[in-house]
Structure 1
Amino acid sequence: MAASYISVPRDLTKVKSKVMFNLTKRQLICFSVAALFGVPSFFLIKQIASVSTAAMGMMVIMMPFFFLAMYEKNGQHLEVLLGHLIEATFVRPKQRPYKTDNNFSALVRYEKAQTEIDEIIMYSQAMRDDRHKKRRR
Structure 2
Amino acid sequence: MIDRKAHAVWQGNGKSGTGHLTTQSGVLKDQPYGFNTRFEDKPGTNPEELIAAAHAGCFTMALAFQLQEAGFAATEMTTESIVTLDKEGAGFKVSKSALTLTASIPDIDQATFDELAHAAEKNCPISKLLNAEITLKATLKQG
Give the alignment's TM-score, normalised by structure 1: 0.27
Q: Which has the higher contact order (CA 8 A, sep 6+)?
A: 2
Give the alignment's TM-score, normalised by structure 2: 0.26
Structure number with the higher helix fraction is 1
